[in-house]
């Protein structure tokens, strides 16, 4: 076994031998090549490594100024804890072996010799540990002293990265002691071995896709062009920062801003580990802030000012990062225009590929605002994107009225409140909205009553057209069995009603110089749960086309709770939110429940979860199922959206998730695209995407779902394994 170091774009390869592996701990890729050993479908499904995740951690070890032996033992303790936690990459603070705030003591040979001796002990101790360790220490090379990040894996130093930018302002004096590492490339002797040295190193595990990382040190991040930017363009997915940033008021927020923006701009994970209590407080103080960001999302953060050592752990989705880079051509354009030459150090990591849980927040409702501090802002933006889209379209068409069918259900309710706000913004009376309730054969008194109450509360022009006589005539003209009194409630029976409603609305719009506001939403378009051409798939402008059902529910709830309308309107909105989602096209027999949409196509909260991860990131069905189980199996775990009703907090087992995901894949990929290809205009609302053929989603109408269904059936067990 070996690790190889090669400069991209040239042929030079440097090889260093690694210790032989114990055959009992070979990576599963090697095991699967052995006919005597096999991995079950269930075992493979439960392992986060199989789904593109890499477990990373920051640590805040105990530290004493210049007490190298104490610091060595503290680091060793954190290494052992990280190993027990199945961590793949552990990031320690800057100069954690010597401690940072020791000033001229950095130049003392006794201390530097002690650092090298301690480093040898830690390297040896790492031989039986899983994590790759990035620790900070001062190292001498060719008559210069460098502030270094040292990458260690299973008893071997993979390489040493010197700090590029040395702060020498205000409280910092690093140029007094250290040489900068910019444009350095070569080797350094560590623990008796020559290893790669330079600011041009990227480290890559050959047996764990995604464990591809770069190290920079503290001040490097605070510069206009951090080294990690070039490293990301050079392929690094995980950017690590070993820091000894002292704390002053407001600096924690600055660090968050830098780490979040760097992870987002570089399409990467950013792992930040700052020095904590124990550093010298002669003139400064330390808070031990550790945090892990991924594509701008905060996955985990440490306790600040901890009294005890702390590991901050998160599973980074390197597959998601790679997906985003693949989808964003400008990322690769930047890589070409800012070509960087990195040496890539490859090594064997030997990941466990076992069920070790999943340490990361997984949102149950990926389309629903999830930031408590920004809740009103996010809802305001979502709502007003629709309002502004409708306002502009009404202005452009020079129409006099807006025509909308009001059913008393969620979608038409949301479209109506958007239209009402558009009228308010334009300064025109709401009676320019022409609302029609159109009862059919299965319309309940409850929804019809809610429709009338809502129209009256909103102050629009309201009317009712009973479509049953026209529907009976059409069914009779078609010689449908229902016209002879037979209880035949087939798709024709349903679509006659749906089509007539749309026919009336379009002709009413012709008659009254208006245009039809569509009510169909993103979830229905994903599932094809809409009537093509002459039903809720068609309109003059589709304000809900970019809004999934779960977001519509939440926005209506937010509108009521935040005082967007008066108390009477809020009361009706609350009643509509409690109503069963139903197309109300098939009459219920005596003692039967009303037609339930979710009983036929699955819970919208699951379907929206499937849609987001399938459309936005192109995840495999098995990974979607893996994430869905972690998000939904336990109602007591994880955060629910703010104000989400306790009674509506559902949980789902893997068998249920797998069942509805299979249905979703068939509907989404094989049967529904022709409806999406003919969508009317409507605004995109969420970064999760929309299904307009002119925007996020372009696909053939005659595709099949076979690759997705095969992947699901091959890789997802029918239930979560026990034990």
287 is in an annotated binding site: no
250 is in an annotated binding site: no
Distance CA 270, CA 239 (A): 5
Respond yes or no: is residue 549 known to be catalytic.
no
Distance CA 90, CA 135 (A): 8
Task: Give residue 315's Cα distance to chain centre.
Answer: 12
Distance CA 409, CA 242 (A): 54
519 is in an annotated binding site: yes
Distance CA 392, CA 686 (A): 19
What length does the chain have?
723
Which residues have CB under 8 Å from 524's CB, separation 6+?
411, 530, 536, 549
- Identify any residues that bridge with 201 across adjacent strands, giving them in sequence order: 343
169 is in an annotated binding site: yes
489 is in an annotated binding site: no
**In a 3-state reduction of DSSP, which class is residue 231?**
helix
Sheet containing strand 461-464, strands side by side? 461-464, 433-437, 401-405, 514-518, 541-542
Distance CA 282, CA 291 (A): 26
411 is in an annotated binding site: yes
Catalytic, out of 59, 92, 94, 662: 94
Q: Is the dihedral of CA 217, 218, 222, 223 positive or negative?
A: negative
408 is in an annotated binding site: yes
Respond yes or no: is residue 10 known to be catalytic.
no
Catalytic, out of 218, 259, 318, 379: 218
33 is in an annotated binding site: no
38 is in an annotated binding site: no
Respond yes or no: is residue 354 known to be catalytic.
no
* C-beta atoms surrounding 193 within 10 Å: 13
663 is in an annotated binding site: no
* C-beta atoms surrounding 646 within 10 Å: 7
530 is in an annotated binding site: yes
Catalytic, out of 59, 116, 163, 216: 163
Which residues have CB under 8 Å from 15's CB, separation 6+?
2, 3, 4, 5
- 562 exposure class (CB count in 10 Å sphere: 0-12, 13-18, 19+): middle
17 is in an annotated binding site: no
DSSP 76: H
CB burial of 682-700 (b: ≥16 within 10 Å; e: otherwise) equals: bbbbbebbbbbeeebbeee
412 is in an annotated binding site: yes
428 is in an annotated binding site: no
569 is in an annotated binding site: no
What are the start-end ranges of the H helices in 177-275?
227-233, 251-265
* C-beta atoms surrounding 169 within 10 Å: 8
Nearest Cα neighbor of 656 from 708, 606, 714 is 606
245 is in an annotated binding site: yes
113 is in an annotated binding site: no
524 is in an annotated binding site: yes
532 is in an annotated binding site: yes
DSSP character string of 476-515 = HHTT-GGGGT-----HHHHHHHHHHHHHHHHHHHHHTTEE
Binding-site residues for ATP, in ranges, read 405-412, 519
Residues marked as binding? 169, 245, 251, 405-412, 495, 519, 524, 529-532, 675
Annotated binding-site members for L-glutamine:
169, 245, 251
- Binding site, annotated residues for deamido-NAD(+): 495, 524, 529-532, 675
- Which residues are annotated as catalytic? 94, 163, 218
């Amino acid at each position: 076994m070996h690790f190889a170091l090669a400069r991209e774009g040239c042929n030079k390869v440097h090889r260093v031998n690694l210790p032989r592996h114990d055959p009992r701990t070979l990576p599963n890729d090697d095991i699967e090549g052995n006919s005597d050993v096999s991995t079950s479908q269930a075992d493979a499904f439960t392992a986060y490594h199989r789904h593109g995740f890499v477990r990373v951690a920051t640590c805040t070890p105990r530290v004493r100024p210049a007490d190298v032996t104490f610091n060595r033992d503290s680091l060793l303790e954190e290494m052992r804890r990280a190993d027990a936690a199945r961590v793949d990459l552990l990031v320690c603070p800057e100069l954690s072996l010597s401690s940072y705030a020791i000033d001229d003591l950095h130049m003392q040979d006794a201390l530097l010799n002690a650092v090298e001796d301690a480093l040898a002990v830690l390297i040896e101790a790492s031989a039986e540990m899983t994590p790759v360790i990035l620790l900070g220490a001062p190292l001498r090379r060719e008559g210069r002293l460098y502030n270094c990040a040292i990458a260690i894996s299973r008893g071997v130093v993979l390489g040493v990265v010197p700090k590029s930018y040395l702060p020498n302002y205000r409280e910092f004096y690093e140029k007094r002691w250290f040489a900068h590492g910019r444009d350095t490339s070569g080797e350094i002797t560590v623990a008796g071995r020559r290893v790669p040295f330079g600011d041009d190193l990227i480290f890559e595990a050959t047996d764990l896709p995604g464990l591809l990382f770069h190290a920079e040190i503290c001040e490097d991040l605070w510069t206009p062009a951090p080294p990690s930017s070039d490293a990301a363009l050079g392929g690094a997915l995980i950017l690590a920062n070993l820091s000894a940033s002292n704390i002053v008021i407001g600096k924690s927020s600055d660090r968050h801003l830098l780490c979040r923006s760097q992870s987002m701009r570089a399409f990467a994970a950013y792992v930040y580990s700052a020095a904590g209590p124990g550093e010298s407080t002669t003139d400064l103080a330390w808070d031990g802030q550790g945090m892990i960001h991924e594509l701008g999302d905060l996955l985990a953060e440490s306790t600040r000012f901890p009294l005890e050592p702390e590991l901050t752990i998160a599973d980074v989705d390197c597959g998601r990062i790679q997906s985003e880079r693949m989808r964003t051509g400008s990322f690769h354009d930047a890589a070409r225009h800012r070509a960087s030459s990195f040496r890539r150090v490859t090594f064997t990591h030997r990941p466990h590929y076992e069920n070790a849980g999943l340490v990361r927040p997984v949102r149950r409702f990926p389309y629903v605002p999830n930031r408590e501090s920004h809740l009103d802002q996010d809802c305001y933006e979502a709502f007003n994107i629709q309002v502004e889209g409708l306002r502009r379209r009404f202005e452009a068409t020079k129409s006099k009225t807006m025509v909308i069918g009001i059913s008393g259900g969620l979608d038409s309710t949301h479209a109506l409140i958007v239209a009402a706000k558009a009228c308010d913004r334009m300064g025109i009376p709401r009676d320019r909205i022409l609302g029609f309730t159109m009862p059919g054969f299965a319309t309940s008194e409850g929804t019809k009553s809610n429709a009338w109450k809502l129209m009256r509360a909103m102050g629009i022009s309201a009317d009712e057209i009973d479509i049953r006589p026209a529907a009976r005539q059409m069914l009779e003209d078609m010689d449908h069995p229902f016209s002879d009194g037979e209880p035949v409630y087939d798709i024709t029976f349903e679509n006659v009603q749906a089509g007539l409603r749309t026919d009336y609305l379009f002709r009413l719009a012709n008659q009254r110089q208006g245009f039809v506001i569509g009510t169909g939403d993103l979830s229905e378009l994903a599932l094809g749960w809409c009537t093509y051409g002459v039903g809720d798939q068609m309109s003059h402008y589709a304000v809900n086309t970019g809004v999934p059902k779960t977001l519509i529910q939440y926005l209506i709830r937010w509108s009521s709770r935040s005082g967007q309308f008066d108390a009477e309107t809020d009361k009706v909105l609350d009643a509509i939110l409690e109503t069963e989602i139903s197309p109300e096209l098939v009459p219920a027999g005596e003692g039967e429940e009303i037609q339930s949409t979710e009983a036929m196509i699955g819970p919208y909260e699951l379907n929206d979860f499937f849609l987001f991860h399938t459309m936005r990131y192109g995840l495999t069905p098995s990974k979607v199922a893996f994430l869905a189980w972690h998000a939904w199996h336990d109602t007591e775990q994880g955060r629910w959206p703010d104000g989400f009703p306790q009674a509506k907090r559902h949980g789902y087992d893997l068998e249920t998730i797998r069942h509805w995901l299979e249905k979703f894949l068939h509907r989404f990929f094989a049967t529904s695209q022709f409806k999406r290809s003919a969508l009317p205009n409507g605004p995109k609302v969420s970064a999760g995407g929309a299904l307009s053929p002119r925007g996020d989603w372009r696909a053939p109408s005659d595709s099949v779902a076979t690759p997705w269904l095969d992947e699901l059936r091959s890789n997802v067990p029918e239930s979560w394994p026990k034990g």
